[in-house]
Chains A and B, each alone.
Chain A
Amino acid sequence: MTTATRRTVLATAIAAPFIAPRAGWTQAGSVKLGILQPLTGALSQDGEYGRIGAEIAIREINEAGGIRGMRIEPVFGDARSAPEGGVAEVERMQAEGVVGVVGGFASPICLAASQAASRYDLPYVVDVGVADTIVTRGLRNTFRFGPGFGVVTQTALDNLSALNDAAGKPARTVVLVHEDGLFGTGLARLMNAELPKRGFEVLETIPHPSPSRDMSNVALRIRALNPDLVIPSSYYAEFALLAQTMQQRRIRPKGIYAVLNGAASNFRFVREFPEAAQAVMDCNHWADPRKPATARVKAAVEAMGRFWLYNVALNYSAVQLMADAIGRAGRPDRAAVIEALAATGPAFTSHIMPYGPTRFVNGQNQSAAPVNTQVQGGDIKVIFPNDFADARPIFPVTG
């Protein structure tokens, strides 16, 4: 490489961010929507599925004629699994004139990105991020369609009690296993406070790092404690390891009741570890099995050769929500969209989540809730609440 060429390359590299991005405002006939996901880095697995969900929704909406005749033009952003990446992408999307942003996935990214968006009064719909702080900061631009952490835990506890009662109270002792990050630790703390009030005894709480190179010792301690129930709250890899180890060593509690678990309601896990996955329950985000749109979206995902995941359904629904609000606002104006979002009501039905009528208070959808699923015969069924169930629970697990 000659000196001159090298200098040119370097000069271009330095100049690149200062060159104005494509002039931003919407061209006649289309609306720009920002889709923010962690596409590279530690969270890339989930980020990609989130993007798929958004893409399917956008394609369906456009094929049906768009929002009041205007096509949705997606602006994809890669948060690089870091909050500053999310902020940088929001700034870029803002400059390109998006009418709103959907996504984020991880709570730290959602926190930083929605805050950056609030400077421009840019509507931001969180897809997954469960931290309660996301909707308690008083930011009027931030909305979350899915449930927050507190609701998930409360529902998980209520449903567990209901399940246990319905089966004749076979379970009393519990071992908690959780990833040592934000949601795992918070969940464990809440569980430790609430479970005893409902007649359960927590024998031990076992945190573990992600990634974990080995889960044998965790399995060993579970075997030694011999609890009725194991409540694991982990990401995909660690739970797959734990479930496989437990199955190998014939450690069979009366039930594995996962909460917000990365593997328990993941078809890849079910396909790759059929024996270990059988009868595992999860209290997690999940699509409504009764809605016809769910089967359609699921088929679209599987046609791509990918697995069906809660993340896809949540992002699909979040994009539908944003599109619905833009339609009701009548024009691609950010402030109007924020107002429309806040006013979303029972008429919004194009989502595929098992929620009641939509109602936002301080940006949080009040009817959002997780559901209980269980792996049965190689399929993931909804077992609770009965309104959305498509199978009966297998509990306690015997044999």
Chain B
Amino acid sequence: MRSYPPEIVAEVVLNGLLTGSVYGLVALGLTLVYGVLHIINFAHGALLTAAMFGVFVLHEVFGIDPYWALPVMAPVFFGFGYLLQRLVIGPAARGDDSNILLVTLGLSIVLENLMLAVFRSDTRSVRIPLANEMLEWGPMLIPAPRAIGFVVACIVAVLLFLFLARSSTGRAIRAVAKERTGATLVGIDVAHIYAITFGIGTACLAVAACLLLPSFYVNPRVGNAFVLVAFTIVVLGGMGSVPGALLGGLFIGVVESLSGLYLGESLGQIGIFAIFILVLLVRPTGLFGAKA
């Protein structure tokens, strides 16, 4: 393994943190959904793709800048997620693990191919002036969109954490996550809470899409690339833990970046999974998780 000068390693770590913040945001939705509904949402990648197409359409058709689209996309996707859980996933799943698996898998197939039929398979990008702005930090150059992404992702994570800790809905969500039967007994509408949680998850994806699109691209398969990493982060950070998702995301981003540097970008992908396996074997509940 060759050695690299410290400036390069430092910048690689920085790149990892920036990328990892977005990973964390994508993982946030997934971890909440798992922590509360106890379902592994196979449709997460397709939902991210749908969100990115949403931002794309807003830009191309209505001329709305992806960052300004945030206040539009987040509530719309919250509603979309709420309805999905309330009307499609919840009734179909009826609490059975394998049913949920099938429904979310079916949903991901429907969504991905719907987008393929409507948008065709081309890889498209948006052009916004901000995309070429670079911030200087010492000798390092940081593209503005990625810096914005980092900041917003952290803010969203903090806001979500506070929401869960302080608000009454947040308390209800935590109650349902911990003890569903007990929560029903004290009068909490569990189906409603489930739907709200799912909606928050998709809203996080919408935010991630707004942050991602200026420096990335969109096609019907784009979300799939992030799903595996998101799963890894969810498990690593502890299922249901918001700080775990963000910190796990940052950690994985740095691991990916460094192993890409030392092992090559291709072989370096092993770094993520190797860490994942190791953490699980040694500390199965994840870094911040409650008992499994």
Contacts and interface: CB of A to CB of B under 8 A. Distances in A.
Interface of A: 40, 42, 44-45, 47-48, 180, 206-209, 211-214, 216-218, 220-221, 224, 236-237, 240-241, 244-245, 247-249, 268, 272-273, 307
Contact of A214 (B19, B116, B121): B19
Interface in B3-31: 4-5, 8, 11-12, 15, 18-19
A180 B266 contact: yes
B266 A213 contact: no
Contacts of A211: 221-222, 224-225
Contacts of B12: 217, 220
Shortest 4 CB-CB distances between A and B: which pairs?
A: A44-B121, A45-B121, A180-B266, A208-B265
Interface in B50-82: none
Contacts of A218: 265
Given A220-B15, A272-B125, A241 B266 contact: no
Interface of B: 4-5, 8, 11-12, 15, 18-19, 113, 116, 120-125, 127, 131-132, 134, 141, 143, 215-217, 219-222, 224-226, 229, 257, 260-261, 264-267, 269
7 contacts: A42-B221, A44-B220, A45-B121, A45-B122, A217-B260, A221-B261, A249-B134
B33 to A, nearest CB: 21
A236 B229 CA distance: 22
B132 A248 contact: yes
Nearest to A43: B121
Contacts of A214: 15, 19
A208 B256 CA distance: 12
Given A217-B265, A220-B12, A236 B123 contact: yes
- Which among A45, A207, A220 has the highest number of chain B CB atoms within 10 Å? A220
Given A241-B217, A273-B125, A217 B257 contact: yes
Contacts of A272: 124-125, 127
Nearest to A205: B264
Nearest to A275: B132
Contacts of A208: 265-266
Nearest to A177: B265
Contacts of B4: 224
Contact of B116 (A40, A241, A247): A40
A241 B221 CA distance: 16
Contacts of B261: 217, 221
Nearest to A262: B123
Contact of B217 (A42, A220, A240, A307): A240
B123 A220 contact: no
A48 B120 contact: yes
Given A217-B15, A241-B216, A248-B132, A207 B123 contact: no
Nearest to A263: B123
Contacts of A236: 123
A304 to B, nearest CB: 11
A237 B123 contact: yes
B122 A237 contact: no
Contacts of A44: 116, 121, 220
A115 to B, nearest CB: 26
A129 B226 CA distance: 28
Contacts of B257: 217
Nearest to A219: B15
Given A206-B265, A207-B265, A220-B15, A213 B121 contact: no
Contact of A268 (B122, B220, B226, B265): B122
B19 to A, nearest CB: 5
Given A40-B113, A248-B134, A220 B11 contact: yes
A180 B121 CA distance: 22
Contacts of A247: 132
Nearest to B264: A207
A110 B8 CA distance: 42
Contacts of B269: 209
A120 to B, nearest CB: 31
A268 B5 CA distance: 38
Contact of A48 (B121, B216, B260): B121
A44 B220 CA distance: 10
A42 B225 CA distance: 11
Contacts of A307: 122
A98 to B, nearest CB: 25
B8 A220 contact: yes
A236 B222 CA distance: 13
A213 B221 contact: no
A224 B264 contact: no
A213 B120 contact: no
A44 to B, nearest CB: 4
Most interface-central of A47, A217, A273 (chain B CB within 10 A): A217
Contacts of B19: 213-214, 216
Given A44-B121, A220-B15, A273-B125, A237 B266 contact: no
B61 to A, nearest CB: 15
